Structure 1
């Protein structure tokens, strides 16, 4: 029978300073809570390598709504009508702008029952470090508008957001049949232009093969959100998942947290596609030879477990000359992704300079050829 006990009461992720009462904020550099008002600092109790005992949750139990009540939480989130992002809010916030697309919105005060995060990868880069990484990245783009780069450099601070991901573990057992191709060369006599000559000809000998393979997958990572393009978040990899900490709301102090909008089963469908791709590569290697063809491949998947984790992203959303630009920075490594901006004027100038250069080279070549012709005439 599914456990129908109510989830724990929602937690308030506000941490008042013991010295002055202002809100504490997680400091990525110091890995502690710091008060921006008076400078008081408090360590995060129970954090560090000795506390990294992460547990997986049973996938089938979650689909059957049979997870223990302690693994569920009730949250209040803002849903952006433009990009669909859902961002967790405290009870004191009633209006905000979406950090993913800068759309002004009014919050929905409704609550939702969700799977609680099991782990969090805390921010390691400060806003200043992430902002510098972004503007340096923009500065390296040859055809980016100079105005946008300067606008971003002087613009509002970036926002730190914990983005939801799923990780999946699974055991797989596969059976396959196919054919292995081995390249051979034969010498044949051919006639060309009335002459007989030897020629090496490539042939492929095919032989049937079959086999069994087993692979255990660990932490197949799937984005749990649709608010950011997957190509952007994929481009932020790799993530140092070995440094995941058991979820503590302390790490969220002063930061936003996006709720997952990709369901657990949807995420597993993506994970399964990733697994299937790896299994096919395994089978191709197992077949061996010079060429391979898979005719039949059947895979049994068992012992599926998962984690709901939060990964740190610094986010900037700018509107520049009527266009929206979004940039994301890996909050651990400083790797940057975003919409690549293009300057029409810079491109036109580059094309014009290219044409001038090509014309100049053509003119010099023509002069050189004319001079050679005159020498030959004499």
Structure 2
């Protein structure tokens, strides 16, 4: 019989003055009680020189130490598939990613513990200001949605799960190096001799080997948000990762990963291959490069489960859900771009008026 895994410690920290819950304040970098205004410093954890990596193959073979795994209770959204961690007293909520009403179950999930996180550096007010500025720059967005967003409910601060992968790679390749040269020809054009210069490429077969060590290849471990939005929130300053501490999660939600470790590594390999291809072309040299074959050996693969801060807003407007995400460190915004039919119609009409005016001006001056 497998040993029972310990539940993750709740991310609730009672105020020592009034008993209400503290929350982590990105602005002050400490725990703050919104009820009485009391503050408390973060627990002084020993600062590790670096966040240790875990062995990839050991994790795939379920040979990780018991201390690296945990059992958590999550909400499963039936619409977007998000798994958001909830405490034992929560029984119903809206999904922070798509605003779908859901009822939490009482099931638990065994997960690999997060090793590190980037603390929120932007509070909810700052995130809302960034989102409103972004919405205001979208001329074709409906005014009603902009007003609804400005007056709407609070944004949700969510720690989104990511995998990072390290690996040694050694690639043997075959291909060809192209050298550009020019030939001059004399041709007859309308009875006159002209000189024409023609560009050509001389190809030389080549082969070789390139090696690269990859550090912290970042892969989204969630399927609740479109990847194009989360990719657009990059870059993340992973050098500022803090060792995981539950105090940072006080007042925020944490999403459980839904992309398995091996599935995430497939995405990481694609990212690695793009970099290796550039390395190979640089190694081939010349003016042009052709790659016939690349055979890459990957070794010493390690990984981390990390949490990155995202402010999320999901608004239902006229029967449709619009989702916006804000980088909780930089304030960069991405989201589903709504369009206003009447604004587009006005723009088309204005364009036609301008074209007609230009045509009229040309006609009367001819």
TM-score bracket for the superposition, by shorter chain length: over 0.9
The answer to whether the aligner puts 1:17 opposite 2:15 as a matched pair is yes
Q: Give the counterpart of 1:133 among 103, 111, 130.
A: 130
Deviation at 1:47, TM superposition (A): 5.4
Q: Give the counterpart of 2:50 among 33, 53, 56.
A: 53
Aligned partners of 2:45, 2:157: CA distance in 1, in Å? 20
Aligned partners of 2:266, 2:203: CA distance in 1, in Å? 34
Q: Give the counterpart of 2:218 among 204, 221, 227.
A: 221
Compared CA separation, residues 318 and 109, structure 1 to 2 (3 A): same
Instruction: Answer whether contact 1:52 1:244 (CA < 8 A) is retained.
Output: no
The answer to whether the aligner puts 1:303 opposite 2:286 as a matched pair is no
Aligned partners of 2:122, 2:45: CA distance in 1, in Å? 18
Aligned partners of 1:219, 1:54: CA distance in 2, in Å? 11
Deviation at 1:51, TM superposition (A): 4.2
Instruction: Answer whether contact 1:135 1:153 (CA < 8 A) is retained.
Output: yes
Per-residue CA distance 1:82-105 (angstroms, 9 max, x = gap) = 111000000111111100110101
> For residues 247-266 of structure 1, what are the structure 2 equivalents within 5 Å?
247-266=244-263
| Larger Rg computed on CA atoms | 1
Per-residue CA distance 1:302-354 (angstroms, 9 max, x = gap) = 00000000000000000111111000000000000000111110000010011
Q: Give the counterpart of 2:26 among 25, 28, 33.
A: 28
Q: Give the counterpart of 1:169 among 166, 170, 175.
A: 166
- What's the C-alpha RMSD, in Å, of the aligned pairs? 1.3
Instruction: Answer whether contact 1:6 1:69 (CA < 8 A) is retained.
Output: no
Aligned residue number for residue 115 of structure 2 = 118
2:106 match: secondary structure:
coil
Aligned residue number for residue 83 of structure 2 = 86
TM-score (ref. length: structure 1): 0.94
Aligned partners of 1:35, 1:266: CA distance in 2, in Å? 40
TM-score (ref. length: structure 2): 0.98
Instruction: Answer whether contact 1:97 1:105 (CA < 8 A) is retained.
Output: yes
1:151 match: secondary structure:
helix
Aligned partners of 1:78, 1:62: CA distance in 2, in Å? 25
The answer to whether the aligner puts 1:274 opposite 2:271 as a matched pair is yes
Q: Structure 1 regions of 5+ residues with no counterpart?
A: 370-378
Instruction: Answer whether contact 1:52 1:245 (CA < 8 A) is retained.
Output: no
Aligned partners of 2:198, 2:356: CA distance in 1, in Å? 48
Instruction: Answer whether contact 1:8 1:69 (CA < 8 A) is retained.
Output: no
Aligned residue number for residue 6 of structure 2 = 8
Deviation at 1:46, TM superposition (A): 2.6
Deviation at 1:5, TM superposition (A): 4.0
Segments ≥4 residues shifted beyond 3 Å: 3-6, 194-197
Compared CA separation, residues 353 and 9, structure 1 to 2 (3 A): closer
1:87 match: secondary structure:
strand
Aligned partners of 1:354, 1:57: CA distance in 2, in Å? 59
Aligned partners of 1:52, 1:321: CA distance in 2, in Å? 51
Deviation at 1:295, TM superposition (A): 0.9
Aligned residue number for residue 351 of structure 1 = 348
Instruction: Answer whether contact 2:181 2:202 (CA < 8 A) is retained.
Output: yes
Per-residue CA distance 1:236-278 (angstroms, 9 max, x = gap) = 0011111110001111111011000000000000000000111
Q: Structure 2 regions of 5+ residues with no counterpart?
A: none
2:365 match: secondary structure:
helix
2:13 match: secondary structure:
coil
Deviation at 1:8, TM superposition (A): 2.4
Aligned partners of 2:360, 2:193: CA distance in 1, in Å? 51
